[in-house]
């Protein structure tokens, strides 16, 4: 009997991968079949995504399925949130896919505040203020290229856009849509009144579809190009929504950290908390599978470590992530800490200079070399996790039993140990490929391979290594 395969195309800020999933003897098996690089390009004065190149990589990985004779029953794409593509009446992109790290949104929070107060905006959407949120990108677009909005017939988030190119069907997926800060937390639909107040055209915002929804078959042209046809089924197209679905948690109020370029730390809840207390602590209520909410804080993650590694490589010093861990351990007593969520770490020309500068501005000891600099970054990240856990306990009024770390950061043993030590919680690290796994789980659930989310998560726990790190 032929295996039933499901294909996850998981695209992150620095790389993308095609992963096939199937079940074997009651366990979920993942196979990475294709990997490609991603990164920002400078175009027309902005930091942008090269969507044409990314789409060619999507097709290249699908062709690999044909070469392996492992044809997926369904497939789905997940990416980061907030970024989008505008299409005109002929389905052609208007302008570039500007990336969230582009500085065009600077000052747009003040513009938004003239139309809606920060308090009301949070009460309506439940979304954490991040200067790169789609709401601020739209306001920047109104200022810089109003003709694009005037000509636009549809807005698609990045994975929506790729699904459209695969199937010819324009569908707005719910979990990614919530990252726009334009969706009503109560109604789980676009906040139409908010769109009107912001003077954004209603017609570009299509109906929201939830993970598990079938988008459609590949177009004949795409099917011919890749050598097969299959259905596109929506995963949680926001990568964190997919990652959270794959967290093997059974404990009530367990905390997860989706640890990658960003650290997304929070709880899974059935109802949004749009209170003023929640807003002031900068927690967000992003959409999840089955209408759940990802109640979390988005803080800087491995981006800081990745950036230092790139700097060292550019200077002719090639180091592994393990090497950086070793360097950090040589300066355990370094006293200075940085606020890992500070905007100065978002896209600095030099992350090392940004760390040194923060320490200097705050009257702390400035790192004297790479060992102290890495110690500062690692210890600051662990302190950021500790603060977030304490805030969560205060907000829900209950103790947090443990922390599940998934994603690429689950392999960073040193950071995981620091997290257990700083928070005083037991840490469970793994699985690593949580985002792709969650993408596949949504497809499996749609195909009734699992009857429920708890059953799917139980299968995850029984299929992948999870390391327990005691406090």
Query: What's the confidence (pLDDT) of residue 1?
Result: 58
- What CA–CA distance (Å, rounded) separates 164 from 247? 29
Residue 77 lies in a domain: yes
Whether 205 and 266 map to the same domain: the answer is: no
B/e letters for 66-78, b = 16+ CB within 10 Å, e = fewer, are eeeebbbbbbbbb
Answer with the one of 182, 209, 233 that is the final residue of a domain. Answer: 233
Query: What's the confidence (pLDDT) of residue 300?
Result: 84
Whether 201 and 287 map to the same domain: the answer is: no
pTM: 0.91
Beta bridge partners of 293: 269, 287
* 321 burial level (CB within 10 Å; 0-12, 13-18, 19+): middle
Whether 224 and 258 map to the same domain: the answer is: no
Q: Are 310 and 197 in contact (CB under 8 A)?
A: no
Answer with the one of 233, 267, 284 that is the final residue of a domain. Answer: 233
Range(s) of the domain holding residue 53: 5-233
Whether 181 and 264 map to the same domain: the answer is: no
- What CA–CA distance (Å, rounded) separates 257 from 51? 28
Residue 395 lies in a domain: yes
Q: Are 471 and 268 in contact (CB under 8 A)?
A: no
Q: Are 235 and 439 in contact (CB under 8 A)?
A: yes
Residue 222 lies in a domain: yes
Residue 454 lies in a domain: no
Whether 222 and 305 map to the same domain: the answer is: no
In order along its 471 residues, the chain shows pLDDT tens digits of 579 999 999 999 889 999 999 999 989 999 999 999 999 999 999 999 999 999 999 999 999 999 999 999 999 999 999 999 999 999 999 999 999 999 999 999 999 999 999 999 999 999 999 999 999 999 999 999 999 999 999 999 999 999 999 999 999 999 999 999 999 999 999 999 999 999 999 999 999 999 999 999 999 999 999 999 999 999 999 999 999 999 999 898 999 999 988 899 999 999 999 999 999 999 999 999 999 999 999 888 899 999 999 999 999 999 999 999 999 999 999 999 999 989 899 889 999 999 999 999 999 999 999 999 999 999 999 999 999 999 999 999 999 999 999 998 999 999 999 999 999 999 999 999 999 999 999 999 999 999 999 999 999 999 999 999 987
Residue 458 lies in a domain: no
Phi-psi region of 458 (alpha: psi -120 to 50; beta: other; left: phi over 0): alpha
Catalytic residue set: 239
Query: What's the confidence (pLDDT) of residue 399?
Result: 95
Whether 150 and 290 map to the same domain: the answer is: no
Of 408, 413, 301, 307, residue with least CA distance to 351: 307
Count of domains forming the chain:
2
Whether 181 and 280 map to the same domain: the answer is: no
Query: What's the confidence (pLDDT) of residue 260?
Result: 85
Whether 215 and 306 map to the same domain: the answer is: no
Whether 335 and 375 map to the same domain: the answer is: yes
Q: Which residues contact 302 (CB under 8 A, 6 or more apart)?
A: 259, 260, 261, 263, 408, 409, 412
Residue 465 lies in a domain: no
Query: What's the confidence (pLDDT) of residue 402?
Result: 96
- What CA–CA distance (Å, rounded) separates 169 from 178? 20
Whether 262 and 197 map to the same domain: the answer is: no
C-alpha triplet 125, 232, 229: angle, nearest 5°: 165
Residue 303 lies in a domain: yes
Residue 143: which CATH number? Answer: 3.30.420.40
Whether 155 and 128 map to the same domain: the answer is: yes
Structure tokens at 418: 């620091």
Whether 290 and 184 map to the same domain: the answer is: no
Query: What's the confidence (pLDDT) of residue 2?
Result: 78
Residue 294 lies in a domain: yes
Provide the 10 A C-beta neighbour count for residue 127: 26
C-alpha triplet 214, 216, 217: angle, nearest 5°: 130
């Amino acid at each position: 009997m032929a295996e039933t395969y499901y294909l996850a195309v998981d695209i992150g800020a620095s790389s993308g991968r095609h992963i096939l999933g199937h079940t074997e003897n009651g366990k979920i098996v993942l196979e990475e079949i294709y990997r490609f690089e991603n990164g920002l390009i400078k175009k027309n004065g902005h930091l942008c995504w090269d969507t044409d190149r990314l789409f060619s990589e999507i097709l290249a990985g699908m062709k690999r399925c044909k070469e392996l004779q492992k044809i997926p029953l369904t497939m789905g794409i997940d990416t980061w949130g907030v970024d989008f593509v505008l299409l005109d009446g002929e389905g052609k992109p208007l302008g570039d896919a500007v990336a969230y790290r582009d500085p065009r949104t600077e000052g747009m929070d003040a513009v938004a505040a003239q139309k809606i107060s920060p308090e009301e905006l949070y009460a309506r959407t439940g979304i954490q203020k991040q200067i790169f949120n789609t709401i601020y990108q739209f306001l920047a677009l109104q200022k810089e290229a109003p003709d694009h909005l005037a000509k636009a017939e549809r807005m698609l988030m990045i994975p929506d856009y790729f699904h459209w190119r695969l199937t010819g069907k324009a569908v707005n997926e719910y979990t990614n849509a919530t990252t726009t800060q334009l969706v009503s937390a109560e109604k789980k639909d676009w906040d139409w009144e908010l769109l009107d107040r912001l003077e954004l055209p209603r017609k570009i915002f299509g109906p929201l579809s939830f993970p598990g929804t079938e988008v459609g078959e590949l177009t004949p042209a795409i099917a011919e190009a890749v050598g097969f046809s299959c259905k596109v089924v929506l995963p949680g197209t926001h990568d964190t929504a997919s990652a959270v679905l794959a967290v093997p948690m059974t404990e009530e109020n367990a905390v997860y950290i989706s640890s990658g370029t960003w650290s997304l730390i929070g709880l899974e809840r059935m109802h949004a908390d749009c209170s003023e207390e929640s807003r002031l602590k900068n927690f967000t209520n992003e959409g999840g599978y089955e209408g759940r909410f990802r109640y979390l804080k988005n803080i800087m993650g491995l981006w800081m470590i990745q950036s230092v590694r790139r700097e060292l490589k550019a200077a002719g010093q090639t180091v592994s992530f393990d090497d950086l861990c070793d360097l950090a351990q040589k300066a355990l007593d370094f006293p200075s800490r940085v606020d890992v969520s500070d905007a100065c770490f978002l896209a600095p020309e030099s992350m090392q200079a940004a760390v040194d500068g923060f320490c200097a501005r705050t009257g702390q000891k400035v790192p004297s070399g790479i060992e102290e600099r890495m110690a500062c970054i690692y210890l600051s990240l662990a302190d950021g996790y500790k603060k977030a856990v304490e805030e969560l306990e205060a907000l829900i009024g209950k103790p947090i039993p443990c922390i599940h770390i998934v994603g690429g950061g689950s392999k960073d043993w040193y950071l995981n140990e620091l997290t257990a030590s700083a928070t005083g919680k037991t840490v469970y690290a793994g699985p690593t490929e949580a985002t792709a796994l969650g993408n596949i789980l949504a497809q499996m659930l749609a195909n009734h391979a699992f009857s429920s989310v708890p059953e799917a998560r139980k299968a995850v726990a029984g299929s992948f290594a999870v390391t327990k790190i005691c406090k």
